[in-house]
Structure 1
Amino acid sequence: MDKLTVEDFSFVRGVFNGMSPKDSFLRFYGNIHFDSKGLPVIPHGLTINTRFSELEGRILSAARDSADALLQRHAQKLAEPMPEGTTDKSERLSLETQFSAWLDREDVQAFEYAENDLPAAFQQYIEDNNIQISTQQSEEVDRATLINEKVKALNELQTILAYRPKSDAETSIWLATTLHKALLKINVHTLGQLVKFISTAGRNWHRHIPRLGPVRGERLLAWLDDHADTLGPVSRATPQWGAYTPLKTRIKPLERLPLVPTLSYSAGSNVAAVPDKQLSQRAGIAPLEMLNVPPDLDGHTGLFRCSAPNHFGARTDMEAIQVWLATFLAAEKQRTFEAYRREVERFYIWCVNEAKVALSSVSASHAMGYQIFLKQIPKSYIGTTLVTREDPRWRPWRVQLTPRSQAYSLTVIKLMFSALCKAGYLSGNPFDSIKSAATLDRDMDTTRALNHGDLLWVKELIERDLGAHQVDSADLDDEDEPPVPDKGAAKGPSPTRLMRARRLRLIFNILLTTGLRLDELARARATDMFATQVGNTGDSEFLLRVVGKGKKVRTVFISNMTHQLMTDHHRDVEQQIIDAEGQSSPRLLAFRIERPLIASLVSSPAGASPSVIKKSQSVAIGSQGLYKTLKAFFRTQANRSIKRVLQQTTLIKGQQKLAGAAADAESFARLGLQLNHLQLDLQMWQRRTMMSTHWLRHTFASEALRTNPSDTGLKLTQQLLGHASITTTAKYVKQDESSKIKAAKLIFPEGI
């Protein structure tokens, strides 16, 4: 566009006011030139100084060609050459100091002067008080006065010559080509249509425009607001501009119908569920234990039934399913039982209601049919209300399954058929030939580990708490009771808080030096430790016997320091029980007989009776208590830093805005760099809020592999972590790609 725009005048005025041509261009042409992230850029090949000279020449030419005498006088003022500025920084600062001191005088009311009259008033003040000004200072005054006059002339020329955006103007004239094309896709052709669209769409209007994003959206909206006098204002009075109602995060309890029997499971029975009273069977969609299967579909004459007796002793498909599920209960694998029962009952409901086939008559074609069914489950099988299993509104699915969930479902059904075949109930597995269409990424996220900086941060916090005899109240776990304040007691550090700090240090040391799983640590007992028999380590170092996943037993090393921390923690627990209940406390006896590695700490006020302590509370802290203790520690400490970073960010953004308004390019750039550093800090603290107990296990695994970089080290790490397969341990090796990159660089470094 050949016409001079407001942005053109703003660019030239910014340079006059001291901004570098580059900073002025990035500030005033951001709506047209930006990168993929929405940040302003300078187009490749554009010479900014040439751009400034060309625009200055066009403004002068337009003013001189006008018949208006006033415009011609403004053009003459604009064309005056600038005096050479002083190079003596101290002289320049001295003049600025005098000017600031003059403005701060009580008898100087700045608002009585127009902005353009301030230099003349300051000059009059210097003459009236016979203040000596060096030649260089005089040149600075003259330079500042001329700059002020040039800016005033430029403002007057902008009022008459600048082309303002109109509501009927095409978006292609004022906006970038990519943004113009994106607006065409939503049928927005003019700036007036854009204002109307934003007013109607509401606060998240930018989400409706492809590839716009919040950064560019905010900048575009600010530009439209600047030109509201010619485009019309963006209306923010519609409900779409109001703040969203906060989501209700309170967990709703399960709805239970009155007078319905509840279910209980027993590992000693041959059925998957034993009701406390007789449940009524029903046809259609129902849980496994309440499903009424028609006689012709119960499987007693299934096509693929073996004629010989089976090891399950099952006569029907339901009996075979129940016995197979009961094997997991007998092995005390409650979670596996619940997960497998869910998938099996879904499949059996499909067999009875959709395929109309007995489980023992399922063929490969039926298996493929169920695979197709899982890709788009009918709404009648998806529940919208959270109810108990015996409720008639119960449904086997809650949402449509992801490809990974579909693959998992087929895998469980395949395992069940395989078990039925091995037990002699069926002659074949129809799911053996099913191929999953899902792409599974079974790699664990091994990057969830504490780096060196994280470890120093944790160590500093714990040492600070131990030194100050204080631990934040958010570090309390749910199994601990909060301390009861004693109004009459003197102020001072709480002994219980010091005990909690020592316990927190013990938890960190155990998890970081042993790699124990959360459940393994919760179930571990001091009686499972025994002295090492390796070398001359003596009795101060121990091995801990751990029962891990799959009931696999392994031993982990307990260092002397960790053992001492454990001893201190146990002494704290005993002291608390003695103070509350006395030396003859049954809880004290139970604790001394079978000491948990980590125990609960209970607070009571000074002089309180033993009844304050709940006698039924277990001394051992559970897995949930351990998890919440560490999670609260990470989240509370990191959130404090996040709050501080956000406050600093808000402060610096305000300072940067003032620097931009004052055309202070150097301060504007410096503050922008500080904002970038604060953004990196914010990301670091947000990452630390997500840390949990399993991050410490990953940290142990990564450190074990780093200090033992060999096949032997990989095998040892597998044993230390209790992995059933070494391929699981090997996934941690993928975390460090540096060695592979170095090796790859040595292969044909010069190419061919």
Structure 2
Amino acid sequence: MGPDLRTRKRVRGAAGPPSPAFQATRYLDNPYYHSSGFRPTNPLVLGQTSRTLFSDKHLGTLEGAPSCERPSSPVVPASHPMSTETPRLSHAHMAYVRCWAEGLELVPAWNRYLYVNGAGDARRARSELRRLLDELRALARAHGRPEIAALLRRDPEAIPDGTGSRIPTLEEFAADQPADFYSEAELIALHQERYGSADARSAARRRQRLRERLVQAVQWLTSVGARAPSPDDAASAWLDERVARRLEAVGILTLRDLVLWIRTKGFHWYRHIPKVGPEGASRVVRWIREHEDSLGALPSPALAPLSQIDTVALTPPPRVGIVPLERFRPPAERDGSRGTNRASPDRCKVAASNDYEAIQAWLRLRVEGTHTWRAYRKEAERFLLWAVIQRRKPLSSLDGDDCVSYRDFLASPGPEWTGPRNARRWSEAWRPFEGALSVRSQSTAMTIVRSLCEWLVRRHYLDSNPWDDVPARPDAPSMPQLRALSRKQWQLVQEWIHDELVSAPSPALHRLKFILDFAYMTGMRLAELASAEFGWLRHEQLDDGEWVWSIMVLGKRKKWREVPLPDPAVEALRAYLRSRGLDPDLLANDPKAPLVARLGEESPLSAARIYEILAAGFERCANHVLATDGRAADQIRAASTHWLRHTYGSHSAARGVPQDVLQANLGHESLATTSIYVRAEKARRHRAVRDAFGDGEPRPD
């Protein structure tokens, strides 16, 4: 039967395997090793066929095992379906296991292949290896290859190093193996492989031979079990469980949802998701980019801040479709150059040859970027797109019947006209509407486009105003609705931002807290907050000797008003100044410096950016509150800068601020506008009815 395995004397191996550092350099720097295909790069493995490596009597031959060439796109066989909720076996997972098979360090391999799950450490790396080996053994058994499952239980590092350790007898070795699993011949072959024969006892050679077979096993398992992620896969199947839960909290269930979210929100997409920070977000984006062949490519604004991108190069070429005004190009027959309602060209007093140019001339009458300019652009944009796309007419060919149809359209735009809230204008998800308009918003929209057409008539671009004989929509007026946060809802916002600053303080969070506090305690409009400078602050002594702070605000119709600053507002500003590295002495800073600035610089934030920051903050807060108070979460999610203004008015009135004082602080022309904030009477009425009917029956006199 050959030499007695029990009496052989072991010999010390002469040469050991390459050092882990050498192997890490050789493999982790190999670009082909990083691709989706896997082939051995070990020189002892290259040039050998799979049949050679798997021809041992105890292991058998793998029919159909791949050669060392890059395999074709592998698919998961129908006999081994995978749940969308359980982790998938990806090419990155297989590369990680192969690093183990090759003897590379696990932590660097984790950081190269499994980085999307966060930074690796020895414990996580080893735990994930055990999980993956369990899955691969199950996969091998599912394909009728128990010998491969057994092979994956072998660890090359467990082979004795030949320093004199006792070699177990064949009987002792057999007792440690699964009962009735191996034949006697297979047990002898296994014992001989592990402990060596008289002429091949080098531990290094035995380790190397085992590694080669493990690598080829991983090769074969890759071809039958690994695949690329699909858009319809659950995010939890590919991403870390904690990250997947946070994504699920905001409605991101699949990888398709995730890619659409990032495309819509842009580079700072993570700001809308609680407990997902910039580092984790960058790992997710990197992972998506590595799988863009199956998941789709991300646009440039998702990969870098807009300030670092050439926005001219970023803007796609104009086209026909439901796209922003600056990207819209109507077909020649509908561009308005030959509109049926065009006035005589020789009388036209506007330098415009088509409807788009006429709208641009009208918009130039307003200061670009202001709230009014954005509102006018939005309504002109909607009107032009509807005329060309829906009505299939130039704007300059519309008549009264068309305008009636547009009035009805505003009440219920179709799904192709509506998109997600706050989608950026460069995003493919952008649409002119975010949903059906309220009656008041419909009226505002018609007023603006009516004034557009009236101006075009005065400039002799249009012959007549198609809106002249169109009455307002004959609907009942909408019920008055105060869009403000209750005291309890505002308290939830305050608790959330406080907890965020305690757990993970950052300049962005300090800025968000200041915007929330200052807007709430001053009632300033969005445009006013964006324009505010330190030179607007006033520190004055009253007749009774008290020193007080206030801020001069440039409001609507270019009118200045003075808004008193309570002590908490002053302290909020000082805290924000400290976070910016500025002097907390309010009068010691540059009078021209913006009150709200970009991170890391002293340039002002635009009104649109402040709106986005607050919208993202309210969304994150709502997600945090959702588990305990769903209705409050809905209110907080819908909030905006204007809600903060209304919240200021409502809470001030409830605390006894006189209406005339509140009117002056808010800059209202009419006291009637301010009266909507008087809620004390409402609360008193509710309490009276509750006292009368608290038990369901009127109380006796």
Shared fold per TM-score greater than 0.5: no
- Considering fraction of residues, name the structure with more helix: 1
Query: TM-score, normalization: structure 2?
Result: 0.42
The structure with the larger Rg is 1
Query: TM-score, normalization: structure 1?
Result: 0.39
Q: Which has the higher contact order (CA 8 A, sep 6+)?
A: 2
